[in-house]
Chains A and B, each alone.
Chain A
Amino acid sequence: MTASTVATAQTILVVGGGISGMTAALEAAECGKQVILVEKTPVLGGRTARLYRYFPKMCHPTCGLEINLRRLKSNRNVRLMTMTEVTAVSGSRGNYSVTLKVAPRYVTEDCTACGKCSEAVSAEVPNPWNYGLDNLKAAYLPHGMAYPQRYVIDPSIVGTPEGEKAKAACPVGAVNLEMQEETVTLQVGALIWATGWRPYDAAKIQPYGYDRFPNVVTSLEFERMADPHGPTGGKILRPGDGKEAKNVAFIQCAGSRDENHLRHCSRICCMASLKQTQYVREAFGDQGKSTVYYIDIRAIDRFEDFYQMVQKDATVSFVKSKVARIAENKENGNPILHGVDTEGYKRYATEHDLVVLAVGMEPEITGVKLPDDVILDSSNFIEGSKDMGMFGAGAASSPLDVNRAVQSATAASLRAIQVIHKSASTEAA
């Protein structure tokens, strides 16, 4: 797309196409503003679309995604660029020059999502949608509600016979293996960084053995396991031996609230684990057993209702303890949790079928060089920019749950609009 000819100082750039980025873009567009939404992966939806259910209503993320996609489809004020990352920003509030890098998808807009390229190819790649827990074909549609509804050819097969198979299979000639990375420069008036979060690397929490024990997983992997559209078809199975995991331990604050890892509290993990105890119930009924090892249960404000409901579930118990270390029973592969139950100071060494580490959220842009003007706090969350033309939204600005992320994105949208209003009146003056 020739965005450089249509973006102006009256355009807002939203970086990140998860729920916060989509919201920021849509809200500004529905106020009549021109928006460019860039997303580095092939599809919109971000991490929330990969959740099975949201707390506290236990509803499905794709429900809200459908509404947002419908709003997007009917609003020509938003121009969407996927496979796109920001590489440089210069200028100042009201007048930025942004350089974007567009990675090749190797599939053009002619794609009708018929699936023939996928059928033709046999090479596989780890499935990003399922955090690599399973594989999918190297010519793929990321998921059932993928938007843009356009296939992707993984770079690993480009230039190989597999790539040629994909190309030959396409009935409309939409596979273009010659696609190159493109650089696009845009002029925009304001930027919203809705770059979201990533899970803290559980392997860094050495005593928990995530990298050594197969039956220690992260909350995000567990979420995929519980999802009927996930790698195990919704069955909660131990990665080690494929057996059902009925006795599940949840370790809260894994890598959070910790001077050695993430100093901040990631806010959502208590509610996420409480939610996941109900997945165990959904799978196993009264035969399931969930134990939540916690420091403080942060089911804040109205989420307290959900906590009270889970407390009444006889299959869920709570242990106030920061688990010291995890060992493994070599005979059956069961993880053994060692620690002290601080309510009464009793030491324990408890076996479970599976351990779920409620890992923290760290900003996705951690370690990425952002424009100098962007103000980051000590955990790399975006507080804003010195000249107040760039704003953080959603989990990029603070560890937030969905409701608060959307609230944050809506607010960021207004601040961006204020910037372009000001620059418009300056131009007119």
Chain B
Amino acid sequence: MADNKFAAYICSGCGIGDAIKVPQLENIAKKEGKMAIIKSHHFLCNAEGVQMINDDIEKEGVTHVCIAACSRRAKTEAFHFPTVAMSRANLREGVLWVVAAGKDHDEVRQEMAADYVRMGCAEVKKMTQPSGNVKESSNKRILVVGGGMSGMTAALEIAETGYEVVLVEKTGALGGMAAKLYKRQPFKDPYAEAQDTGVAEMVARIAATPLIKVHLNATIGETAGAPGRFVIQVAQESGSVTEETVGAIVQATGFTTYDMAKLPELGGGQPNVVDQAGLEALARQANGGAIKRADGKEVKSVVFVQCAGQRDDTGTHLSYCSGHCCGTSIKQATYFKDQNPDIDTVVMYQDLRVPGMGEDFYRSAQQKGVIFTKGKASKVTGGDSCNVTFRDLILDEENTIPADLVVLATGQVPNAGVDLEAWNPVVTAAEGGDEAAKVQRDAMRTTSVLKLDYRQGPDMPQFKHGFADSHFICFPYETRRTGIYAAGPVRRPMDIAQATDDATGAALKAIQAVENAAVGRAAHPRSGDLSFPTARLEGCTQCKRCTVECPFGAIDEDERRFPKFNEERCRRCGTCMGACPVRVISFENYSVDTVGSQVKAVEVPDEDEEKPRILVLACENDAYPALDMAGLARMNYSAFVRVIPVRCLGSVNTIWISDALNSGYDGVMMMGCKKGDDYQCHFVKGSELAHYRMSKIGDTLKQLGLEEERVQTLEVAITDSARVVKLINDYVAELDKIGPSPLKGFG
């Protein structure tokens, strides 16, 4: 393009100029990099150096800048040129600090620096500064699915911030499970007494808030579109359908209580054995007076059995703990004690879990005379007089307590909709023509909460135990469906205090999502990224790999069965680009070419020079920082490696591997984040996909006459600075034994 002007700036500061010949690098930038302007500076990041670059951009019309200096992770405040495309050749952390010092290494150090300059120039020439995808109009209304404590909180908080809400609730009234409580646990100092739930007040506030539109007796009939342009079919119980358009979705569909009937050994189903929800109903009926059981008798003794059907490691019941139930039983015990201190209340627990300031509530209950017994109930019989048989873990003996009423603290089962792990094989079979599978798929679809018409399935992925959560520790809202945020017990077992905080956080993320969608900005983790994938459909073979492999369900199929990219659903990881066997997918500033041209820009010495070349594709989230930190610590690794950061190993296209091997590289190392159950990959499946794709590469290597060892896929953590150095050095030694690539000189 005639308008492009490429410039390279080489810093000789930080000792770079002492150990590396900068004039030679300038020459390379000119002759091989074909840069129009080449300058060097002894302290490029200081005000003068930065001004020099800014002047060239303003006055010389520079549109593309290659900065050969420190790592792209350093001096970001100084090297901030938002109007131009920029590449950064890592001469400091990547060469100066990691190549062994001394004259003996001058030659290989210079070669490494020279290659990085070639790579930086090659990369920037293939980059375009992303312009974003500003929409003419974008919807900023937010849908909240579920009108319980979490949903109502989200709705009120969103409205309070000035945005419109559509609140859909499946029953005839707002309030959810919280509305059925007599009181809630205390959530403020002095944490001594149960409190009013606040549900009535919230319902009234919602009714008085014009920004919130409520649909009762309604479920979601269909969700189509993407952030900024979701089209929702709200299905009323009556049969009519209302269409709503929204920009983001908060799923606050809550929980149901674990079915007591599954606990016959604990008296489930027998008279005068209730669960916590059942006790709340009795307390509401009593309304401060004596609590009576179903047969009308006043309860004079009650036993609370904790962890009923939970914390079960036999696989029979829920394996998790629901978090709120100890506090809830304490609260319920005080319902009795507050009304009549002579009522016997026993809480039978395995671990009494009242974290934080809940400890004061526990003290308050003890002061009121509630008895706490550490015991595991083995048998409960209901009836006119109930009996709880348990192993008293303190006295180390079996015992039986009689009671008028037994309350089982059962767990929260999330209303998360369809489990995609179960859904996917059924859909595959149905698409293959299996009639029974078609029936099953349609039946499963009716249980879906969101009814997304995404190719990847109708609900959010459930990762563990049926909860809609991605399980990131640092990023609880790093959702797997962009613009759709789960909040409250559907995401993780929790009490009301947590649920209100969670819903408020989800409200913020939903607001952020609608603002981002309007201007084409990416959500976490590539927050602020304006690039997004486009595809040259003329070359597409409709293999569907991009669509299926996208970890975020961002790609649909159009009527002609071509992939339809929904920029607003995209997280910019590039997994689609890595998946495409015909390489038609790319981003403006990250493409098959931006990386491929770097691979090919490296000068590969002939076999007799005994200077191997190893390509390292390092995930920018963990592996590249680990390499930088190895440099910061002045750990040395082989000067024969050439490191290229990638957005995610999932974005690695096999053409880069073949390009490297065909060019005579001796080995390729892919370093990415941990996969599996305790995965670290910020794009969920990227690392896993890379490992899977590379496992298939063995045949290709054999055809080329290359040993399997020449391509390695490794899991690396960000703290592995010492380990990555060892991995690289060991690999170089291994390749030395195997011998140079037979493909040298043919590239």
Query: Which residues on A are within 8 Å of B, measured CB to CB?
Result: 19, 26-27, 30-32, 54, 56-64, 66-68, 70-71, 73-76, 109-110, 112-114, 144-145, 149, 171-172, 228-229, 257, 263-267, 296-305, 308, 320, 342-345, 377-379, 381, 383, 398-400, 402-404, 406-408, 410-411, 413-415, 417-418, 421
Contact = CB atoms under 8 A, between A and B. Distances in A.
B425 interface: no
Interface in B1-22: 13-15
Interface of B: 13-15, 43, 45-46, 70, 73-77, 80, 157, 160-162, 188-191, 311, 313, 319-323, 349, 351-360, 374, 393-396, 464-465, 467, 471-477, 492-494, 498, 501-502, 504-505, 507-509, 511-512, 515-516, 524-525, 527-528, 621-622, 625, 629, 632-633, 673-674, 678, 680, 682, 717-719, 721-722
A383 B188 contact: yes
Given A64-B473, A67-B474, A411 B621 contact: no
A31 B508 contact: yes
Contacts of A110: 43, 46
B504 A402 contact: no
Nearest to A172: B43
A73 B353 CA distance: 40
A114 B471 contact: no
Given A266-B356, A378-B357, A400-B356, 11 more contacts: A32-B515, A57-B473, A59-B674, A59-B717, A73-B77, A76-B80, A110-B46, A264-B357, A301-B323, A343-B396, A345-B394
Given A265-B359, A377-B188, A60 B494 contact: no
A264 B360 contact: yes
Nearest to A61: B474
A112 B13 contact: yes
Contacts of A114: 14-15
B16 to A, nearest CB: 10
Contacts of A73: 73, 76-77
Nearest to B526: A70
Contacts of B629: 144-145
Contacts of A67: 474-475, 524-525, 621, 682
Q: Which of A58, A66, A74, A404 has the largest count of B CB atoms less than 10 A from its CB?
A: A66
A226 B21 CA distance: 43
Contacts of A257: 359
B79 to A, nearest CB: 10
A407 to B, nearest CB: 5
Contacts of B512: 27, 30-31
Given A172-B13, A411-B504, A296 B353 contact: yes
B357 A377 contact: yes
8 contacts: A26-B527, A31-B512, A59-B680, A63-B474, A64-B475, A74-B76, A298-B355, A403-B473
Contacts of A144: 629, 632-633, 721
Q: Which 9 A-B pairs have the closest CB atoms?
A: A64-B474, A410-B505, A411-B504, A301-B323, A267-B355, A377-B189, A414-B508, A57-B678, A73-B76
Contacts of B633: 144
B503 to A, nearest CB: 8
Q: Which of A303, A414, A418 has the largest count of B CB atoms less than 10 A from its CB?
A: A414
A123 to B, nearest CB: 21
Contacts of A298: 351, 353, 355
Given A302-B465, A402-B474, A344 B396 contact: yes
**Chief secondary structure at chain B's binding surface:** loop
A75 B632 contact: no
A57 B471 contact: yes
Contacts of A75: 527-528
A417 B509 CA distance: 12
Given A63-B718, A300-B323, A417 B161 contact: yes
A305 B322 contact: no
Contacts of A71: 524-525, 527-528
A399 B473 contact: no
Given A144-B632, A411-B505, A418-B161, A30 B678 contact: no
A24 B393 CA distance: 44
A301 B351 contact: no
B74 A113 contact: yes
A113 B15 contact: no
A300 B358 contact: no
A112 B473 contact: no
A75 to B, nearest CB: 6
A60 B625 CA distance: 13
A359 to B, nearest CB: 16
B528 A112 contact: no
A61 B190 CA distance: 34
A112 B14 contact: yes
Nearest to A298: B353
Contacts of A149: 74-75
B313 A308 contact: yes
Nearest to B471: A57
Contacts of A32: 515
A64 B475 CA distance: 8
B678 A228 contact: no
Contact of B678 (A19, A58, A172, A408): A58
A110 B14 CA distance: 12
Nearest to B719: A60
A82 B590 CA distance: 34
A33 to B, nearest CB: 11
Q: Which of A266, A402, A418 has the largest count of B CB atoms less than 10 A from its CB?
A: A418
A383 B477 CA distance: 23
B717 A378 contact: no
Nearest to A402: B473
Given A71-B528, A265-B356, A404-B498, A308 B323 contact: no
A301 B494 contact: yes
A25 to B, nearest CB: 13
A63 B356 contact: no
Contact of B357 (A54, A62, A381): A381
Given A31-B512, A66-B718, A113 B359 contact: no
